[in-house]
Structure 1
Amino acid sequence: MYAPLSKNIKTTLVTSFLGSLIYSCTIPFLIIYLAGIYSPKWTGLIVMVNVVSAFTAGIVGGYLADTFQRKRILFIFQTSYGLSLLLIALTFAGILTANFWLVIGYWICGISFNLYSPAFDAVLMDSTTPVDRKTVYQMQYWAFNLSMALGFSIGGFLFKHFLLHLFLVTAILQLLLALSFQRKLDYNNQVSAQLHKNPLKDLLLNYRIAAKDKRWVLLILGMALFNAAEFSLKNYTGVRLSREFEAITLFSVPIDGVRMLSILQVINTILVVCFTFLISKLTEKRSERGAILYGLVLYVIGYGLIAVFNSIYILVPLMILATIGELASSPNINARKVDLIPENKQASYLAFSSLSYQGAELLAALGLTLGGYISAGVISAYIIILGLLGTWFVIVSLYGKERNPSP
């Protein structure tokens, strides 16, 4: 029997679900919309600027979460995120006439999200106990995947004719979510004392401990490289399908490139939600190292080949293959990497680990930019080579020689 969850945990999980739903039904489709306005080169540059700014915001967000009250940080930047969605909606409504406002709104979304995410993660961690922590993070993982499936479904089917309504409703929902979260969350945190008058020095010291651990850095780099394969789905592959996929009719439902992208994401999420425990049971009696290695190889090759094919009869099996690889490797990586974190340095290590996702976003955005110059086959090779290199880094990091304790 599961122990009853606290009010803070329930509030945070619901907020996490709705926040992921808002993101998944808006931002990936905004990128596709921008790709219809700008050339692939400019679209890739816009995405890369967003990734770099979000990367910087994530670093700053981790520092702010340790230095100030997290509840206040959450309200400020969750509200900013909602206002950026409203800015985009006003542009679609014609109140703001320049397409440049879409780009500004997109950038503010990325910056705001990454400024509050470290505080959000810290609140969830603080609200759990060793007894319920595994259960809570398992529930968050499931909720995240379910929200992504719903979000991509909603966004894919409303993209062509109801884009204004989609962004307007999500903007209002995000603003209400920020307000509701503040009212229901009963939380205060101790703040770290500033060691220097210069906040930049404090910020750098916050990450110095983890950055000195070569084995941890290698793991984070490897995760960035192989995650770039999946992240390319919403950047390069999504834009390519929107332009190259020949519309078909399936069970009397028209399927264009955008809807094909939604279908792939939904397949991935449904498989994750339904078969996580089954795949885990099938692999638990086998070598953990082998499950991670072969799982990542399937994952990388699956997403890499999705970047080049246009047939639904090939894309769907490839997505199933990639998802099986994800289910075989991801839980084992998440469980194993905890062993690399010193007990007295968890905050620094966890904050540093979030950089792997920003790095993956940057690599995926680079693939979108390169797509304006080179063929899909070369981009596919780029994704696979990076992913296999990342796989090797992860295996070396997790199963290499024991790390010497940091001084």
Structure 2
Amino acid sequence: MKYSDLHRNIRIRIITDFFTDLTQKSILPFMAIYLSVRLGASWAGLLLTANILLSMLVSLGAGYWSDRIGRKKLMVSAQCIQVFALFWMAAANSPWLDSVWLTCIMFTFSSVSSGVSIPVANAMIVDVSSERERQYVYGLQYWTTNVAITFGALMGGLLFETNRFLLFGLVLAESVATLAILVTLIHETMETHSHSNVPVSRKRSSMFSTYGDVLRNRRFMTFFAATVLAVALEFQLDKYIAVRLKNEFSAQLFHWDITGLQMFSFVLAINTVLVALIALPFSKWMHRYSSRSVMTVGMVLYTSGFALLAVSNWAMLLIAAAVVYTIGELMYSPVQKVLLAGMIPDTNRAAYMAADSMSYNAAALMGSIGLSIGAILPSYAMACLYLLMGLGALCLFRSSLDRQTFTSGNSGNSGNSSSGTMAS
């Protein structure tokens, strides 16, 4: 499998997504600090929470309408909103104007744009990719996203506090370029999957009945629950695990005294470097094995790594745990997306992608709850809890695969023959 073998839409999306992630991640992580300084922590928390909730609602609506009017129209509309929002965010932080409230309003518009574009773009990738291609595509996307986040955070750290106008101007330029590419080079993909055998009543179904069908799809909801548990472990890293290391860890590493926060930064650096170096060859190597096997081994490694991070105060063991959980993540994460793409119905792809995005919000909530629980339970109990979460996720993932035969004969599933290959 080579990059040049992929559909043109996918090749373009991977490039544009890289630059979008690069620029967006140079802003988003620093907005909480900006709003806290300018408006206070309470207002900042309320505004960020409102943005997340609004983005979730908009995402569900975008998923529904994308399956009815097409992918490209919504993607172009969302990108127009993004350009508009970023123009005024740059203006609100320029030498001629300094307005925190205009920045807040435009940041909300930017969040709405992201809520629209993410499920639609994910559905477009599924539209024009085969089962054989998806593991490579998602592995490549995983690599580009992590590299973009790393360099985006570095760019934001250098410019957000000292020169927001320049930073927002760079992001605006990228968004304008992305809009031009979407308008001129991206093709509509919804018509590539057949609607000829879909009942008219289903085409005209309301948003509530569409997402009602999603909730009644037992296989998908089992997979959804598994995703929540698996991703919730990742959200523990910068919450309970970071706090625990800060409070409990102090050691020497190669004759250097290191604090808990330094150890936490080292764990993040190991994850970033490993992803940058081995994600692509790892993705190609995993093609040799069945997705069920890769998912199982990956989840075992991923869970074990987090359990060790939750309990150990030995520096070398924490380094080993960082390597283990990263390898596990490299194994399970792309395969999880492949399996998801193979189980959703052709006629409601974007709606299912929008519903799947809710799993990450639920996981983020569990991450916050984990921090509160960690204040009560000892570290070994948290490690046991992580093991139970990982085991639960693995069992639910495998259960969703075992439901394949039943589901494919019901609820209008996609019926791709390749889905059976991935579950074998």
Q: TM-score range by the shorter chain?
A: 0.7 to 0.9
Cα shift at 1:278: 5.0
Secondary structure of 1:141's counterpart equals helix
User: What is the correspondence of 1:182-261 to structure 2 with a 5 Å cutoff?
Assistant: 182-187=183-188, 189-190=190-191, 202-231=206-235
In 1, the alpha carbon distance for the partners of 2:38 and 2:264 equals 19
Counterpart residue number, 1:90: 91
Residue 31 of structure 1 and its aligned partner are, at CA, apart by 2.4
Moved more, 127-136 or 220-229: 127-136
Give how far 1:132 is off: 4.2
Q: Does 1:9 align with 2:10?
A: yes
Corresponding position of 2:421:
none
Cα deviation for residue 116 of structure 1 reads 1.8
After TM superposition, give the deviation of residue 347 of structure 1 in Å.
5.0
CA contact (8 A) 2:242 2:264 kept: no
Tell me, in whole angstroms, the C-alpha distance in 2 between the residues paired with 1:137 and 1:108.
28
Code of the residue aligned with 1:68 in structure 2: it is I
- Paired position in structure 2 for 1:270: 273
Which deviations, in whole Å up to 9, do the C-alpha atoms of 1:311-330 show, x marking residues without a partner? x9998776545423312432
Distance in 2 (alpha carbons) for counterparts of 1:258 and 1:187:
47
Contact preservation (8 Å) 1:223, 1:390: no
Contact 1:63 1:206 in 2 (8 A): yes
Distance 2:184 2:261 in 1: 38
Q: Does the Cα contact within 8 Å between 2:309 and 2:321 map onto a contact in 1?
A: yes
Q: Which residue of 2 aligns with 1:105?
A: 106
Decide which of 323, 327, 330 is 2:326's aligned counterpart.
323
Q: Distance in 2 between matches of 1:383 and 1:86?
A: 45
Aligned runs of 1:113-152 on 2, under 5 Å?
113-129=114-130, 132-152=133-153
Letter of the 2:175 counterpart? Q
Shift in alpha-carbon separation, 1:353–1:185, aligned structure 2, 3 A: closer
Q: Secondary structure at the match of 1:160?
A: coil
Please tell me the root mean square deviation across aligned C-alpha atoms, in Å: 4.7
Q: How far does residue 94 in structure 1 lie from its aligned partner after superposition?
A: 6.3
Change in 2 beyond 3 A, CA 1:212/1:126: same
Q: CA deviation at 1:33?
A: 2.4
Q: Say if 1:84 and 1:106, in contact at 8 Å, map to a contact too.
A: yes
- 1:57 paired residue number: 58
Q: 2:358 corresponds to which residue?
A: 358
Partner of 2:31: 30
DSSP 3-state at the match of 1:121: helix
Alpha-carbon distance, 1:62 to partner: 0.8
Whole-angstrom CA distance in 2 between matches of 1:102 and 1:369 = 30
Does 1:348 find its partner at 2:354? no
8 Å contact 2:75–2:117 — kept in the other structure? yes
User: With structure 1 as the length reference, what TM-score do the two structures score?
Assistant: 0.74
Contact 1:85–1:170 (8 Å) recurs in 2: yes
Note the alpha carbon deviations across 1:71-108, whole angstroms, 9 max, x for none.
Answer: 22111111212322233323322655442333323322
SS of 2:84's partner is helix
Normalised TM-score (structure 2): 0.71
Q: Quote how far apart the aligned CAs of 1:266 are.
A: 5.6
Write the deviation string for residues 27-67 of structure 1: whole angstroms up to 9, x where unpaired: 11222322334554543333322221111111111112111
Q: Is the 8 A contact 2:66 2:350 kept in 1?
A: no
- Go from structure 1 to structure 2 and tell me whether the alpha carbon gap of 1:284 and 1:123 turns closer, same or farther (over 3 Å shift): closer
The CA distance in 1 between the partners of 2:242 and 2:81, in whole Å, is 27
Which entry has the higher C-alpha Rg, 1 or 2? 2
Contact 1:210 1:349 in 2 (8 A): no
Q: Quick one: percent identity of the two aligned structures? A: 20
Instruction: Tell me the distance in 2 between the aligned counterparts of 1:330 and 1:268.
Output: 14
- Relative distance call for 1:360 and 1:386 in structure 2 (3 A) is farther
Q: Secondary structure at 1:14's aligned position in 2?
A: helix
Q: After TM superposition, give the deviation of residue 157 of structure 1 in Å.
A: 2.9
Q: What is the Cα deviation at residue 115 of structure 1?
A: 0.6
- Tell me if the contact between 2:119 and 2:350 (Cα under 8 Å) persists in the aligned partners: no
Stretches of structure 1 that go unaligned for 5 or more consecutive residues are 245-256
